[in-house]
Amino acid sequence: MSFRHQYVIGDLQGCYAAYRQLLNKLQFDPDQDKLWFAGDLVARGEDSLSTLRDIKSLCERGAAATVLGNHDLNLIAVWRGASNIKKKDKTEPIFDAVDCDELLEWLRHQPILAYPDEQTVLVHAGIPPHWSTEVAAGYAQELEKQLRGDLEVLDQLLPNLYSKTADDWHARIEGHTKMRAIANYFTRMRLCKKDGTLEFGFSAGLDDPMPEGFLPWFEWQAPRSRKILFGHWAAIKGEVDLPHARALDGGCVWGNQLLAYRLSDGHVVASSAECPSP
């Protein structure tokens, strides 16, 4: 199907009012247009439940698609009893909703990596420099298979996805350690070394001092066949636009804006509504 416009939208974080205002600004028509979301649909905004319901409905009619972010994975983990609601998250109404199981069952079947068009690839946090786009797609499928598997498989996976320290990537990595490393690259990465070694403590802007030997993952990148569209890093406010990478998290939940990137020409539309402070 050909679309009039396709837009990739950064982290919503449950900022429902800003999301609806942005769609009005885009003059979004679900019969003609398609939205792609960079993950973190839920968490600290004012209405994660309505946000999740709305995007699920659009996806099911073919007018939207999303990848999973770290907050989405945490929501699934809370649902299955593998994690607790984070103190700043406002996701409890999802678990009180009559359609909770339906929403979360749908969410766990969403991809980690997607291709909005022939020139781009969409992930939540990024693709590390030691993976080609093709290799990354294979690892994404490995994680997706477990997230979409039998509940027994899912329940074994989820408690093992969390660690305060990053795992070293090596040729013999396997099992849940491998799945956790894959999830960390796709949903938590900001800084890394050229070999892909991750650093989890830094979340500030690009002008702030960084740990020695580490750089933003996109600064290590060799030329790629597809431009990486990513969210996750709110502090850079979507201001990174390189030939091989485009940041789309405008930091709406922190009082800034949602960003929508038009695939046809790279034009960016920003919301004018702010999300209430978390």
Q: Which range of residues forms the domain containing residue 46?
A: 6-270
Task: Collect all residues with Cβ–Cβ distance below 8 Å to 139 and sequence separation of at least 6.
Answer: 131, 182, 185
| pLDDT per position as a tens digit, 124-171 | 999 999 999 999 999 999 999 999 999 999 999 999 998 888 888 998
Which one, of 13, 11, 25, 3, lies nearest residue 269 by Cα?
25
* Residue 256 domain-assigned (yes or no): yes
The proportion of the chain whose per-residue pLDDT surpasses 90, expressed as a percent, equals: 90
Question: Is residue 30 domain-resident?
Answer: yes
Q: Is residue 277 part of a domain?
A: no
Residue 203 counted as domain residue: yes
| Structural contact between residues 230 and 125, judged by C-beta atoms closer than 8 angstroms | yes
pLDDT band at 211 (very low <50, low <70, confident <90, very high): very high
Residue type, 207: D
Q: Is residue 1 part of a domain?
A: no
Angle between helices 100-107 and 48-60 (to 10 degrees): 60
Q: What is the pLDDT of residue 151?
A: 96
CA distance 54 to 277: 22
Q: Does residue 254 register a pLDDT over 60?
A: yes
Q: What is the dihedral angle through the alpha carbons of 101, 104, 105, 108, rounded to the nearest 10 degrees?
A: -160
| CATH number of the CATH domain containing 111 | 3.60.21.10
pLDDT tens-place string over residues 99-123: 999 999 999 999 999 999 999 999 9
Percent of the chain whose pLDDT exceeds 70: 98
Per the rule left: phi > 0, alpha: psi between -120 and 50, beta: everything else, 233 is: beta
CA distances from residue 156 to 55, 228, 242, 245 in whole angstroms, order as listed: 28, 31, 39, 34
pLDDT band at 1 (very low <50, low <70, confident <90, very high): confident
Is 202 in contact with 191 (CB distance < 8 Å)? yes
DSSP 141-163: HHHHHHHTS-HHHHHHHGGGG--
Query: What is the count of structural domains for the chain?
Result: 1
Which regions of 12-104 does DSSP assign to beta strands (E)?
34-37, 64-66
- The angle subtended at Cα 257 by Cα 83 and Cα 9, nearest 5°, is 70
Distance separating alpha carbons of residues 118 and 132, to the nearest angstrom: 16
Residue 278 inside a domain? The answer is no
Instruction: Decide if 197 is inside a domain.
Output: yes
Give, in order, the Cα–Cα distances in Å from 223 to each of 192, 228, 242, 267.
18, 11, 10, 22
**Phi and psi angles of residue 177, each rounded to the nearest 5 degrees, phi first:** -60, -40
pLDDT of residue 147: 98
Q: Please indicate, yes or no, if residue 250 is contained in any of the structural domains.
A: yes
Q: Would you say residue 225 has pLDDT above 90?
A: no
Where residue 224 falls among pLDDT bands split at 50, 70, 90?
A: confident
